Amino acid sequence: MTVVTDPRVELPPTAQRVLAAARQIVLDEGFSRLTLSRIAKVSGEKNTAAVKYYFGNKAGLVHVLLDTVIYDVIGQLDVPEHEVRAGTPGEALAQEERILSQPSDALRIWYDLLPHATREPELLERIRTSYERFIELHEEQVAAAVGVASTGPGERRLAALLSALSDGIALQALIGPRHFDMDEVLATLQVLLDHGLPALRDQPMGTATTER
């Protein structure tokens, strides 16, 4: 699995308090309330200098905040072997999607930050990089499921699709629409994967075509 280092580990105590305050503000009040003065108040610092000293500026703090979110989401996959009940490749991938889609504080922060990325170029670039890491994680999962050492074009496209699916499933799990049932959705995904993965192994996908 992709090795991701917890960005909090090497931060000094004051920086950790500032970062923890930023996470709590976004979680409880939303990204729009993440101001230097609010961070100083919630973290217990007397002024805003700590953000600039440890993170350069607010954008630098947000970058580290995103890294902690990525670490926490990927860390959900680190489950004991006895808890893994995967049988078929489709079941294995569906189980990974279940783990990645579970509602959590990290996902709530992630979805709060996403809308702002379209208006803030630095945040957009950081989130784009984060998505590349998520897709890379899915590529590793697909490779393990189909039993290959590295992914080809077909597996990479499937990884991108699974990444988008986990986003949508997680968002629905957080919002809780009336008729959404994660178990049913993932059971359907498993059926599709169990039927589709053999074809993917035997004949790597090329450019999609449609009959007229």
Q: What is the mean pLDDT of residues 134-163?
A: 84
**Predicted local confidence at residue 182, as pLDDT:** 93
User: Cα(139)–Cα(116) distance, rounded to whole angstroms?
Assistant: 27
User: Cα(72)–Cα(197) distance, rounded to whole angstroms?
Assistant: 29
Q: What is the mean pLDDT of residues 22-47?
A: 93
How big is the chain, counted in residues? 212
What are the backbone dihedrals phi and psi of residue 144, each rounded to the nearest 5 degrees, phi first?
Answer: -65, -40
Categorize the per-residue pLDDT at 82 as very low, low, confident or very high, splitting at 50, 70 and 90.
very low
Q: What is the mean pLDDT of residues 98-113?
A: 90
State whether CATH 1.10.357 applies to domain 80-200: yes
Residue 179 burial class via C-beta count within 10 angstroms: exposed 0-12, middle 13-18, buried 19 and up: exposed
141 and 90 in contact (C-beta within 8 Å)?
A: no
Whether residue 201 is predicted with pLDDT greater than 80 in this model: the reply is: no
Whether residue 211 is predicted with pLDDT greater than 70 in this model: the reply is: no
Residue 163, token pair as written in the block: 């990444």
Sole residue written with tokens 């049913």: 184
Map out the domains of the chain as residue ranges.
80-200
